Structure 1
Amino acid sequence: MHENGAGGAGTTVLYDGSCPLCKAEIGLYRDRDVDGRLCLVDVSAQNAALPQGLDRQAAMARFHVIASDGQVLSGAAAFIEVWRALPGWRWLARLAALPGVEPILEVTYRAFLKARPAMVRLFVAVKRF
C-alpha cells in the first residue's frame, strides 16, 4: 500500500481526505489491501498530484481512480476498479459486470452524492456521541 504518491500499486485511488465518510471508506480499503495493489492519494492535500484534466474541486466532489492502464475512472466505474483489486471484494466487481448493473450503481452513487453533505453531518454527530 502506498499513500499520497506513485509506487508499484496497480490502481491509484483519489479520495477526499477532508470527508469523514470518505476517510472511513478508505480505511476499509486500506485494511483489505493485503497485496498492496492500491495507491491512496488524499486529493484534499495541497501537494496531491492530480492527473491532467482533473482539478482538485472535481476530484473532491466525486470518487476517482487511475487504473493500472492509466485510464481515469469515476463514480461507479471507479468503485468497481477498486473492488477488482481487493481480495474478498472481487465478487462485487464480477456482479457489477452483469448487464445493467453498472448503470444502476452509477444512479445510486449520484443519489448518494446529493445526500453526502447530510450524511457527513450525521456521521460526525454520531462519532461525537
Structure 2
Amino acid sequence: MKVFFNNSCKICRSEINLYKKENIKDIDWIDITNNSDAEKETSRNDKELLRRLHVKENGKIIEGAEAFLYVWKKIPKYKFLYKFFKLPIIFSIFKYGYEIVAFFLYLKNKKQLKKLS
C-alpha cells in the first residue's frame, strides 16, 4: 500500500510521523510535495493531492477519510481507530469533519503549489 501525504504541512507531517514509527513494511510513505510522479501514479493533480490524504492499494486510489481507515487497518496500534471510525454513523460524521479540517489545511498550505506561468 502507498500513502500519499503532504510532508510540508506541519500537522500532516506530525501525524504521519506517528504512523511511520510503527515501521509497517506493507506501507510506502510518499511525500506529494512537488512530486510529479505522485501526480502520475494517482492520476490526481497537485491541488487534489494537497487537498486530501490518498492511498493506493491494489491499483485503486482511495482518498480522504476512507484513506485513513486503510492506514489504521494496517497498523496494529491504530486498529482500534479503524474499528471505531468504520461504523456507519461514526464514519459519516468523521468524513464530514475530515473534509472541513482538510479544507482549512489546504487553504493554509496551498501556497506550496507549483506556480503555473
The answer to whether the aligner puts 1:20 opposite 2:10 as a matched pair is yes
Residue of structure 2 aligned with 1:102, choices 84, 91, 97: 91
Which residue of structure 1 aligns with residue 49 of structure 2?
59
Superposition RMSD on alpha carbons, in Å? 2.1
SS of 1:49's equivalent in the other structure is helix
Q: Distance in 1 between matches of 2:35 and 2:108?
A: 25
Which residue of structure 2 aligns with residue 45 of structure 1?
34
SS of 1:88's equivalent in the other structure is helix
Q: Distance in 1 between matches of 2:102 and 2:96?
A: 10
- Report percent identity of matched pairs: 24
Q: Distance in 1 between matches of 2:42 and 2:88?
A: 31
Deviation, structure 1 residue 37: 2.0
The answer to whether the aligner puts 1:75 opposite 2:48 as a matched pair is no
1:102–1:82: structure 2 CA closer, same or farther, 3 Å change rule? same
Looking at secondary structure, tell me which structure has more helix per residue: 2
Q: Distance in 1 between matches of 2:107 and 2:38?
A: 29
Tell me, yes or no, if the aligned pair for 2:51 and 2:103 is still in contact at 8 Å. Answer: no
Q: Distance in 2 between matches of 1:113 and 1:52?
A: 18
TM-score between both structures, scaled by the size of structure 2: 0.79
Tell me, yes or no, if the aligned pair for 1:37 and 1:86 is still in contact at 8 Å. Answer: no
TM-score between both structures, scaled by the size of structure 1: 0.73
